[in-house]
Structure 1
Amino acid sequence: MFIDIRTSLFAIYLFLIGDSSALSNWSYAGNPSIAVLIVLFSLLIVVYLMNLLIGLLNNAIEEDNNRISYLIQKAEQTWFPEVIHYYADIDKTRREVERLIKEGKWDTKEFAEMREKLLKELQIKHDPINNEVVLKKLSVLEGKLEKLEKLEKLLEEIHAK
């Protein structure tokens, strides 16, 4: 009995890998039951292997979905806090802000509310309209405008002649 089970398992293994020589001793015409068993075996093995393949694919897809959902959830998180606390020496900060104001780099459109609060905390009086740097630039532009007006008059005179 033990030898029969081992030989039948070996015959099944050979049949799985496509070698039907183990069943060549029997004729299919004389034993229709062997032909039915071979067909049933083939169908069951195909269904089993397809289920195994589907299960493996399902695991792979599930891993990808977990990674994708992890990345989506990570992208939806807010990474920066609402408030950032930073310690700075008040004297050094005051000097730096005054330097930026003097060079004309302080009056930008970015962080307007924060700049106003910083000026208030540092007790610096700054009026962007009366800023010396802006007034100097404005006077330079006025000089250039006067030159352009003179050139325009000269062009009109030349054009009139």
Structure 2
Amino acid sequence: MFIDIKTSLFAIYLFLIGDSSALSNWPYADNPSIAILIILFSLLIVVYLMNLLIGLLNNAIEKDNNRASYLVQKAEILAEIELFYLLPLQRRWKTWFPKVMYYYVDVDKTRIEIKRLIREGEWNTKEFTEMRENLFKILSIIEHNPIDNEVILEKLSELEKLEKSYHEKLEKLDKLEKLDNLEKLEKSYCEKVDKLEKLDKSYDEKFDKLEKLDKLDKLDTKLDKLLEEMQAK
């Protein structure tokens, strides 16, 4: 089978499915190199390359199997339904197809997105002028030129600086509060130490008094004994 290129390719295909009859003319005992080549072929081609191909396919599937592709496919299905399966009367329903859609969004994220659109030149200043003015008022951009994007960028940068300074001041206030708490704790600790020292002194004084009283008791007992001895004599 290895005389012609076509039959040799077919023999390799047979090797892939586990058929080694193409090498039946050469006994393995007399030709150990053929056995070694068969083992290497099974390890490299069948095991390694096939598993590599499966891994690459899995990576490609995982790359496409994300939320973005899901949303794109969903949008395509909805567009197909709207174009081919809805009646003209249904397409004119405002409840299904409103002109303007409102949704909630974070203010900081909106500022960042507007700045990105202006920087990349994607900010359209000719459409929805009233809505854009209301948006700038909500974002605390009071005086602005809707055509001049540089003014908008400056306003946004000023707002970001103010926000950063505000956060820095908050951090400083937190640090000051922590320092005040530490000072209060230190004062209370010093007061407790003073109280302990006073208690220690009073304890020492009382202990000295007790020692003196013990000595007096001993002297008193000795005097009593002496008096008894003198009376006995």
Query: Common fold, TM-score beyond 0.5?
Result: no
**Structure with bigger gyration radius:** 2
Which band: TM-score by shorter chain? 0.3 to 0.5
TM-score (norm 2): 0.29
